[in-house]
């Protein structure tokens, strides 16, 4: 029995370690994708794109480990929630990586656009806000802090409000100078991807809350009333 419990703990620890690595990779990808735009760094954008494969591989490994653990060990209660939550969180992190890769691809196009459209301070601020939210939820995941996870969930509207402001700002650019339309359109996609990354961070907060407490967050997420809902 002691051997079985030890083996179970080791498998669960391996999943937790892979999840932590995924979190670090996803956070770095998002930060570097935004930096690639702000610094017009094509080589950094290419690095973000190439790194995404590692994130995908970890997601598949976590899924494989979790399914094997459930099939062979049949965890219950807290252990079952922990295992299932790991799969759900890894899926959200993998999606965050995909969105960061998409931002990096658009960074290349934006840098090469003529005439070059100034990257608004709002895009950089939104990137910083989203990276901070992602870092906070990953810290909550590592420390098992429910209150910190709830704080991320409660502040979801901040990203929405900034997206709304950027949407209107970029429309103003395009109306003022039609030559900027192509670059601004890509920046709209960047802003939308950042908004979605914020949503995935909030998803992780919800999953973590349920994993630790066994209670779902049933309230509607706080959102900006003025959010532009159109898909960029």
d(CA 110, CA 117): 8
The tokens describing 178, both together, are 């039609």
d(CA 154, CA 202): 9
Q: What is the pTM of this model?
A: 0.88
pLDDT, average across residues 18-41: 94
Classify residue 198 as exposed, middle or buried by CB count within 10 Å of its CB (0-12, 13-18, 19+). Answer: buried
Please state, rounded to an integer, the average pLDDT across all residues of the chain.
87
Residue 116's φ and ψ, nearest 5 degrees, are: -70, 130
d(CA 21, CA 35): 21
Share of the chain above pLDDT 90, in %: 57
SS3 call for 222? coil
**pLDDT band (50, 70, 90) for residue 155:** confident
Q: What's the pLDDT tens digit per position in 187-196?
A: 999 999 999 9
Q: What's the confidence (pLDDT) of residue 216?
A: 84
Please count the CA atoms within 13 angstroms of the CA of 52 that sit on its side-chain side. Answer: 21
Tell me the domains of the chain and their CATH numbers: 2-213 (1.20.58.220)
Share of the chain above pLDDT 70, in %: 89
Q: What's the pLDDT tens digit per position in 124-152?
A: 899 999 999 999 999 999 999 999 999 99
The residue ranking higher by pLDDT, 112 or 190, is: 190
Site of tokens 């910190």: 148
């Amino acid at each position: 029995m002691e051997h079985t419990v030890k083996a179970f703990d080791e498998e669960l620890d391996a999943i937790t370690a892979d999840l932590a690595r995924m979190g670090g990779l996803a956070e770095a990808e998002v930060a570097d994708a935004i930096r690639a735009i702000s610094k017009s760094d094509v080589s950094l954008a290419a690095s973000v794109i190439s790194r995404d494969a590692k994130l995908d591989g970890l997601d598949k490994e976590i899924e494989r480990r979790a399914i094997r653990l459930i099939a062979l060990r049949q965890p219950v209660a807290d252990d079952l929630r922990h295992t299932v939550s790991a799969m759900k969180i890894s899926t959200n992190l993998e999606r965050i990586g995909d969105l960061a890769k998409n931002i990096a691809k658009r960074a290349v196009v934006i840098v090469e656009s003529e005439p070059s459209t100034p990257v608004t301070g709002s895009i950089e601020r939104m990137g910083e806000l989203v990276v901070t939210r992602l870092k906070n939820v990953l810290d909550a995941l590592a420390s098992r802090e429910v209150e910190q996870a709830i704080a991320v969930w409660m502040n979801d509207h901040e990203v929405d409000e900034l997206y709304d402001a950027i949407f209107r700002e970029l429309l103003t650019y395009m109306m003022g100078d039609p030559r900027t339309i192509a670059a601004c359109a890509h920046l709209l996609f960047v802003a939308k991807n950042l908004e979605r990354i914020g949503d995935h961070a909030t998803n992780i907060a919800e999953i973590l809350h349920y994993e630790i407490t066994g209670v779902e967050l049933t309230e509607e997420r706080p959102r900006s009333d003025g959010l532009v809902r159109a898909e960029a």
